[in-house]
Amino acid sequence: MRDIDLNGKTILVTGSPGFIGANLVIRLLKEMTGGTVVSLDNMNDYYDPALKEWRLKRIEEAAAESPVRHVFVKGSIADPVLVEKLFGEWHFDLAVNLAAQAGVRYSIDHPDVYIESNLIGFYNILEACRHHPVEHLIYASSSSVYGGNKKVPFSTEDPVDHPVSLYAATKKSNELLAHAYAKLYNIPSTGLRFFTVYGPAGRPDMFYFSATEKLAAGKKIQIFNYGDMRRDFTFIDDIVEGVYRVMRGAPEKKNGEDGLPVPPYAVYNIGGGQPENLLDYVRTLQEELVRAGVLPADYDFEGHRELVGMQPGDVPVTYADSEALERDFGFRPKIDIRTGLRAFAEWYAGYRGRKGAAEKAP
């Protein structure tokens, strides 16, 4: 593994101001002592663009106090002309590809956007790295690639050849494409399999966020598989810490006995390794929403939840084996759900207040 000093480097982060992307950019702006961060996002309306605008404003605030230059570009990684132009102009030292069409259930009815963003878009990034070599390409994969694997915890050594959603299939395809490009063009690349990321200013389509919105509106929430589900929930700060460390450790370039490159390629899980029962997670969320004043203390939770069957494309358990991440980077996610959901509930209470005031303004 080759150590990379990020200071003074020019770094591309796609998918900013998405959830993980925005938090990563802010971390880079705070940690680096110089250099440039170019962030790219198409600001689509998969969920409320106002939340992306809110995150972008947080990035701009961090940039105003940072010695690092930040440039935001509105555009899509599925646009090959734009991607080539950016790489040709900036000569990136590192590229972090977090741009993707997310969501397992959405992929069932909207397959075209997953092909466009997750396959064509990632191919454009790989081609750009081929023609404008980078020190390290880091990209988002997903715990979804494990599909219905029965063996737990999930290890990166496990076979992942049976995806149960198109989203998972596109993420596994990213790993295969990255491996091929690493082999053919000696591009150091690392894929990161994220496990159920949550936290303040997260994605509104994620269960904890959508459930909060429904409960606050007096609507019922559905708990799938009758609550018999376990998730390796990973708080956003742990995810960003993992990405930040991995960025600085690129797979080493070397040749094999045939004189050709041994692929400088790696894949890691980033998950807490402590799967939580969904009903326990919901109970903790409810308690923290009451504590933050989002819901009244006498809220009738039993009357606002419904246990239903499993959804297509979903799996009953996710469970990360993060030993490789700890071995190579000295880090394992550790923030518990009580701490994480408290941070989310407190953020949501403030965000809802600001949002409501904005909507009432003339």
The catalytic site residues sit at: 167
How many C-alpha atoms does 127 have within 13 Å on its Cβ side? 16
Pick from 88, 114, 125, 141: nearest CA to 14:
125
Name the nearest CA neighbour of 93 among 6, 34, 30.
Answer: 6
Strand partners, 38: 12, 71
Question: Tokens 């230059």 identify what position?
Answer: 69
Assess contact for 28 and 7: CB atoms under 8 A: no
Q: What is the dihedral of CA 75, 78, 82, 85, to 10 degrees?
A: 130
Cis peptide bond N-terminal to 67, omega within 30? no
Cα–Cα separations (whole angstroms), residue 107 to 78, 113, 206, 269, 343: 17, 8, 14, 22, 29
Tell me how far apart the alpha carbons of residues 189 and 278 are, in angstroms, rounded to a whole number: 34
Rounded Cα–Cα distance for residues 207 and 202 (Å) = 10
Residue 254: φ, ψ to 5°: -160, 160
Strand 136-142 to 189-194 pairing: parallel
Q: Tokens 């992306």 label which residue?
A: 52
| DSSP strands (E only) in 80-220 | 94-97, 136-142, 189-194, 197-198
Pair of tokens at residue 334: 């550790």
Residues 6+ apart with CB under 8 A from 299: 215, 286, 290
